[in-house]
Structure 1
Amino acid sequence: MKFMLIMRTVDQAAVDASEAIDFEEIIAAMGAYNETMINAGVLADGAGLTDASEGSVVDFGEDEPVVTDGPYGELRELFNGFWIVEVSSQEEAIEWAKRAPLGAGTQLEIRRVTSPDDFPQENEWVQKEQQWIAEGKLSGK
Protein backbone atom coordinates (compact mmCIF):
# COMPACT_ATOMS: atom_id res chain seq x y z
CA MET A 1 0.00 0.00 0.00
CA LYS A 2 1.08 3.53 -0.66
CA PHE A 3 0.60 6.34 1.82
CA MET A 4 1.27 10.05 1.46
CA LEU A 5 2.83 11.81 4.42
CA ILE A 6 1.72 15.43 4.03
CA MET A 7 3.83 17.95 5.95
CA ARG A 8 2.15 21.02 7.44
CA THR A 9 3.43 23.84 9.61
CA VAL A 10 0.63 24.88 11.92
CA ASP A 11 1.85 28.12 13.49
CA GLN A 12 4.16 31.05 12.89
CA ALA A 13 6.38 30.04 15.82
CA ALA A 14 7.29 26.85 13.92
CA VAL A 15 8.09 28.86 10.79
CA ASP A 16 10.29 31.20 12.81
CA ALA A 17 12.04 28.27 14.52
CA SER A 18 12.81 26.57 11.20
CA GLU A 19 14.17 29.82 9.77
CA ALA A 20 16.55 30.04 12.73
CA ILE A 21 18.11 26.64 11.86
CA ASP A 22 20.99 26.55 9.38
CA PHE A 23 19.64 25.44 6.00
CA GLU A 24 22.48 22.93 5.57
CA GLU A 25 21.46 21.33 8.87
CA ILE A 26 17.86 20.98 7.66
CA ILE A 27 18.98 19.47 4.34
CA ALA A 28 21.29 17.04 6.13
CA ALA A 29 18.54 15.88 8.51
CA MET A 30 16.04 15.44 5.67
CA GLY A 31 18.64 13.72 3.50
CA ALA A 32 19.47 11.24 6.26
CA TYR A 33 15.76 10.54 6.84
CA ASN A 34 15.19 10.01 3.11
CA GLU A 35 18.24 7.75 2.87
CA THR A 36 16.93 5.62 5.75
CA MET A 37 13.63 5.16 3.92
CA ILE A 38 15.39 4.42 0.61
CA ASN A 39 17.62 1.82 2.28
CA ALA A 40 14.53 0.23 3.84
CA GLY A 41 12.88 0.13 0.41
CA VAL A 42 9.81 2.15 1.42
CA LEU A 43 10.34 5.58 -0.17
CA ALA A 44 8.48 5.81 -3.49
CA ASP A 45 8.61 9.60 -3.94
CA GLY A 46 8.73 12.89 -2.11
CA ALA A 47 9.46 16.57 -2.50
CA GLY A 48 9.41 19.89 -0.75
CA LEU A 49 7.21 22.66 -2.06
CA THR A 50 7.90 26.32 -2.68
CA ASP A 51 6.31 29.01 -0.56
CA ALA A 52 2.56 29.47 -1.09
CA SER A 53 3.25 32.95 -2.45
CA GLU A 54 4.57 31.20 -5.59
CA GLY A 55 1.43 29.08 -6.02
CA SER A 56 -2.19 29.43 -7.04
CA VAL A 57 -5.52 27.88 -6.15
CA VAL A 58 -8.21 27.07 -8.72
CA ASP A 59 -11.60 27.15 -6.97
CA PHE A 60 -14.49 25.38 -8.68
CA GLY A 61 -17.17 26.90 -6.42
CA GLU A 62 -18.57 29.17 -9.15
CA ASP A 63 -19.82 28.54 -12.69
CA GLU A 64 -16.35 29.39 -13.97
CA PRO A 65 -13.24 28.35 -12.02
CA VAL A 66 -11.72 31.22 -10.02
CA VAL A 67 -7.93 31.46 -9.74
CA THR A 68 -6.34 32.97 -6.64
CA ASP A 69 -2.61 33.57 -6.66
CA GLY A 70 -0.67 32.95 -3.47
CA PRO A 71 -0.30 33.53 -0.72
CA TYR A 72 -3.70 32.04 0.04
CA GLY A 73 -5.33 30.27 2.95
CA GLU A 74 -4.20 30.12 6.52
CA LEU A 75 -0.80 28.73 7.45
CA ARG A 76 -2.21 25.51 8.94
CA GLU A 77 -4.14 24.84 5.69
CA LEU A 78 -1.02 24.78 3.53
CA PHE A 79 1.38 21.94 3.09
CA ASN A 80 5.11 22.24 2.65
CA GLY A 81 6.08 18.91 1.20
CA PHE A 82 5.30 15.24 1.06
CA TRP A 83 6.65 11.72 1.01
CA ILE A 84 5.03 8.72 -0.66
CA VAL A 85 5.89 5.53 1.19
CA GLU A 86 5.05 2.02 0.09
CA VAL A 87 4.49 -0.08 3.19
CA SER A 88 2.36 -2.98 4.39
CA SER A 89 -0.04 -1.00 6.61
CA GLN A 90 -1.11 2.39 7.90
CA GLU A 91 0.59 1.52 11.18
CA GLU A 92 3.91 1.14 9.36
CA ALA A 93 3.36 4.48 7.59
CA ILE A 94 2.74 6.06 11.01
CA GLU A 95 5.97 4.59 12.34
CA TRP A 96 7.92 6.12 9.43
CA ALA A 97 6.14 9.46 9.95
CA LYS A 98 7.12 9.50 13.63
CA ARG A 99 10.81 9.31 12.60
CA ALA A 100 10.68 12.48 10.47
CA PRO A 101 13.14 15.17 11.59
CA LEU A 102 10.44 17.75 12.29
CA GLY A 103 9.89 20.02 15.26
CA ALA A 104 7.05 21.41 17.33
CA GLY A 105 4.38 23.16 15.30
CA THR A 106 4.73 20.74 12.39
CA GLN A 107 2.33 17.93 11.55
CA LEU A 108 2.31 15.02 9.13
CA GLU A 109 -1.07 13.96 7.80
CA ILE A 110 -1.07 10.33 6.65
CA ARG A 111 -3.40 9.35 3.80
CA ARG A 112 -3.58 6.13 1.80
CA VAL A 113 -3.05 6.62 -1.93
CA THR A 114 -5.72 4.83 -3.94
CA SER A 115 -4.91 2.45 -6.77
CA PRO A 116 -6.99 1.21 -9.71
CA ASP A 117 -7.84 -1.84 -7.57
CA ASP A 118 -9.92 0.44 -5.31
CA PHE A 119 -12.42 1.14 -8.09
CA PRO A 120 -14.87 -0.94 -10.16
CA GLN A 121 -12.74 -3.08 -12.49
CA GLU A 122 -15.31 -3.01 -15.30
CA ASN A 123 -15.06 0.80 -15.56
CA GLU A 124 -13.54 1.92 -18.87
CA TRP A 125 -11.34 4.57 -17.25
CA VAL A 126 -10.04 2.22 -14.57
CA GLN A 127 -9.08 -0.22 -17.32
CA LYS A 128 -7.34 2.58 -19.25
CA GLU A 129 -5.41 3.59 -16.13
CA GLN A 130 -4.26 0.01 -15.64
CA GLN A 131 -3.14 -0.05 -19.27
CA TRP A 132 -1.25 3.23 -18.85
CA ILE A 133 0.50 1.77 -15.81
CA ALA A 134 1.43 -1.39 -17.74
CA GLU A 135 2.79 0.76 -20.60
CA GLY A 136 4.89 2.85 -18.18
CA LYS A 137 2.92 6.03 -18.90
CA LEU A 138 1.98 6.27 -15.20
CA SER A 139 3.71 5.00 -12.12
CA GLY A 140 1.70 2.18 -10.68
CA LYS A 141 1.09 0.08 -7.65
Structure 2
Amino acid sequence: MRFMMIVRATEDSEAGVLPSAEQLDAMMRYNMELARAGVLLAADGLHPSSGAIRISYPEPGGKAKITDGPFTEAKELIAGYTLIEVKTREEAIEWAKRMPDPHGFGAGQIELRQVFEPTDLTQDPQAQAKQYEMREHIQRQNP
Protein backbone atom coordinates (compact mmCIF):
# COMPACT_ATOMS: atom_id res chain seq x y z
CA MET A 1 0.00 0.00 0.00
CA ARG A 2 1.31 3.40 -0.91
CA PHE A 3 0.47 6.51 1.05
CA MET A 4 1.30 10.15 0.48
CA MET A 5 1.91 12.43 3.43
CA ILE A 6 0.92 15.85 2.15
CA VAL A 7 2.40 18.84 3.97
CA ARG A 8 0.05 21.82 3.86
CA ALA A 9 1.44 25.23 2.98
CA THR A 10 1.50 28.16 5.38
CA GLU A 11 1.75 31.89 4.75
CA ASP A 12 5.50 31.61 5.43
CA SER A 13 6.07 28.73 3.01
CA GLU A 14 4.04 30.60 0.38
CA ALA A 15 6.22 33.67 1.02
CA GLY A 16 9.29 31.57 0.23
CA VAL A 17 10.56 31.33 3.81
CA LEU A 18 12.89 28.34 3.84
CA PRO A 19 13.05 25.86 6.72
CA SER A 20 15.65 26.52 9.41
CA ALA A 21 18.79 24.39 9.62
CA GLU A 22 17.22 22.60 12.60
CA GLN A 23 14.01 21.86 10.68
CA LEU A 24 15.98 20.56 7.67
CA ASP A 25 18.11 18.39 9.94
CA ALA A 26 15.02 16.93 11.64
CA MET A 27 13.40 16.17 8.27
CA MET A 28 16.59 14.57 6.94
CA ARG A 29 16.85 12.34 10.03
CA TYR A 30 13.20 11.34 9.60
CA ASN A 31 13.60 10.68 5.86
CA MET A 32 16.73 8.58 6.51
CA GLU A 33 14.76 6.58 9.06
CA LEU A 34 12.08 5.94 6.42
CA ALA A 35 14.75 5.02 3.85
CA ARG A 36 16.55 2.63 6.21
CA ALA A 37 13.21 0.96 7.00
CA GLY A 38 12.73 0.45 3.25
CA VAL A 39 9.43 2.34 3.04
CA LEU A 40 10.49 5.68 1.49
CA LEU A 41 9.66 6.15 -2.20
CA ALA A 42 10.02 9.95 -2.49
CA ALA A 43 10.17 13.08 -0.34
CA ASP A 44 10.33 16.64 -1.60
CA GLY A 45 9.43 20.19 -0.70
CA LEU A 46 7.70 22.38 -3.25
CA HIS A 47 8.40 25.95 -4.32
CA PRO A 48 5.70 28.52 -3.43
CA SER A 49 2.67 28.83 -5.70
CA SER A 50 3.99 32.18 -6.98
CA GLY A 51 5.92 30.14 -9.55
CA ALA A 52 3.16 27.59 -10.12
CA ILE A 53 0.85 27.11 -13.06
CA ARG A 54 -2.72 25.84 -12.74
CA ILE A 55 -4.34 24.12 -15.69
CA SER A 56 -8.13 23.95 -15.62
CA TYR A 57 -10.54 22.15 -17.93
CA PRO A 58 -13.73 24.22 -17.85
CA GLU A 59 -15.88 21.65 -19.66
CA PRO A 60 -15.54 18.18 -21.18
CA GLY A 61 -13.59 18.46 -24.42
CA GLY A 62 -13.05 22.15 -23.71
CA LYS A 63 -9.83 24.05 -24.13
CA ALA A 64 -7.42 24.00 -21.17
CA LYS A 65 -7.19 27.28 -19.27
CA ILE A 66 -3.76 28.31 -17.93
CA THR A 67 -3.53 30.39 -14.74
CA ASP A 68 -0.23 31.59 -13.29
CA GLY A 69 0.29 31.65 -9.52
CA PRO A 70 0.38 32.79 -6.84
CA PHE A 71 -2.80 31.19 -5.60
CA THR A 72 -4.78 32.30 -2.58
CA GLU A 73 -5.67 30.31 0.52
CA ALA A 74 -2.26 28.98 1.59
CA LYS A 75 -3.95 26.40 3.84
CA GLU A 76 -5.37 24.69 0.72
CA LEU A 77 -1.98 24.49 -1.00
CA ILE A 78 0.76 21.89 -0.72
CA ALA A 79 4.26 22.73 0.53
CA GLY A 80 5.73 19.23 0.21
CA TYR A 81 5.09 15.52 0.24
CA THR A 82 6.49 12.18 1.33
CA LEU A 83 5.53 9.00 -0.49
CA ILE A 84 5.83 5.72 1.41
CA GLU A 85 4.99 2.09 0.76
CA VAL A 86 3.84 0.11 3.78
CA LYS A 87 1.87 -3.03 4.58
CA THR A 88 -1.09 -1.45 6.39
CA ARG A 89 -2.96 1.79 6.92
CA GLU A 90 -2.02 1.65 10.60
CA GLU A 91 1.69 1.49 9.71
CA ALA A 92 1.26 4.57 7.49
CA ILE A 93 -0.41 6.42 10.36
CA GLU A 94 2.42 5.49 12.73
CA TRP A 95 5.04 6.81 10.28
CA ALA A 96 3.05 10.00 9.69
CA LYS A 97 2.75 10.65 13.44
CA ARG A 98 6.55 10.51 13.69
CA MET A 99 7.13 13.20 11.04
CA PRO A 100 8.61 16.34 12.59
CA ASP A 101 6.44 19.45 12.47
CA PRO A 102 7.09 20.49 8.86
CA HIS A 103 7.04 24.19 9.64
CA GLY A 104 8.65 24.02 13.07
CA PHE A 105 6.35 26.28 15.02
CA GLY A 106 3.28 24.20 15.74
CA ALA A 107 1.37 25.33 12.65
CA GLY A 108 2.19 22.31 10.53
CA GLN A 109 -0.40 19.96 9.18
CA ILE A 110 -0.02 16.65 7.38
CA GLU A 111 -2.71 14.98 5.32
CA LEU A 112 -2.29 11.22 4.83
CA ARG A 113 -3.86 9.77 1.68
CA GLN A 114 -3.70 6.31 0.17
CA VAL A 115 -2.53 6.13 -3.43
CA PHE A 116 -4.66 4.15 -5.89
CA GLU A 117 -3.17 0.86 -7.05
CA PRO A 118 -3.98 -0.50 -10.52
CA THR A 119 -6.26 -3.13 -8.96
CA ASP A 120 -8.26 -0.33 -7.27
CA LEU A 121 -8.94 1.39 -10.59
CA THR A 122 -9.94 -1.46 -12.86
CA GLN A 123 -10.64 -5.16 -12.91
CA ASP A 124 -9.36 -5.44 -16.50
CA PRO A 125 -6.14 -7.52 -16.31
CA GLN A 126 -4.73 -5.90 -19.47
CA ALA A 127 -5.25 -2.38 -18.13
CA GLN A 128 -3.69 -3.40 -14.81
CA ALA A 129 -0.70 -4.94 -16.61
CA LYS A 130 -0.15 -1.69 -18.55
CA GLN A 131 -0.18 0.32 -15.33
CA TYR A 132 2.29 -2.06 -13.65
CA GLU A 133 4.48 -2.00 -16.77
CA MET A 134 4.57 1.81 -16.67
CA ARG A 135 5.52 1.75 -12.97
CA GLU A 136 8.33 -0.76 -13.64
CA HIS A 137 9.58 1.37 -16.53
CA ILE A 138 9.76 4.42 -14.26
CA GLN A 139 11.63 2.44 -11.59
CA ARG A 140 14.19 1.22 -14.14
CA GLN A 141 14.79 4.80 -15.29
CA ASN A 142 15.22 6.06 -11.74
CA PRO A 143 17.05 3.35 -9.78
TM-score of the two chains, using structure 2 as the length reference:
0.80
Cα distance 1:121–1:60, how it changes in 2: closer, same or farther (>3 A)? same
Alignment correspondent of 1:8: 8
Aligned to 2:107: 105
Looking at structure 1, the residues matched to 107 and 32 of structure 2 have their Cα atoms a distance apart, in angstroms, of 24
Equivalenced residues, count: 134
Q: 1:122 aligns with which of 93, 115, 124?
A: 124
Paired position in structure 2 for 1:67:
66
**Change in 2 beyond 3 A, CA 1:44/1:36:** same
* Structure 1 unaligned residues grouped into runs of 5+: none
- Between the two proteins, what is the percent identity of the paired residues? 35
1:41 offset after TM fit, Å? 1.6
Do 1:121 and 1:127's aligned partners in 2 also have CA atoms closer than 8 Å? no
User: In the alignment, what sits opposite 1:40?
Assistant: 37
Instruction: Compute the TM-score of the two structures, normalised by the length of structure 1.
Output: 0.81
Q: Does residue 137 of structure 1 match 2:137?
A: yes
Measured on the aligned residues, the alpha-carbon RMSD in Å equals: 2.5
Shift of residue 23 of structure 1?
Answer: 2.5
Asked if 1 retains the 8 angstrom alpha-carbon contact of 2:13 and 2:79, the reply is no
Kept in 1, the 8 Å contact 2:2–2:86? The answer is yes
2:80 aligned residue: 81
Deviation at 1:77, TM superposition (A): 0.9
Q: 2:54 aligns with which of 54, 57, 61?
A: 57
- Residue 46 of structure 1 and its aligned partner are, at CA, apart by 1.4
Q: Offset of 1:126 from its aligned partner?
A: 2.9
Q: Deviations over 1:80-101 (max 9, x none)?
A: 1100111121221111111111
Distance 1:67 1:88, change over 3 A: same
CA offsets 1:67-113 (integer angstroms, 9 cap, x no match) = 11110131011001100111121221111111111142221111111
Q: How far, CA to CA, are the matches of 1:56 and 1:132 in structure 2?
A: 26
Alpha-carbon distance in 2 for matches of 1:132, 1:7: 27
Q: Does structure 2 conserve the Cα–Cα contact (< 8 Å) formed by 1:55 and 1:71?
A: yes
SS at match of 1:80: strand
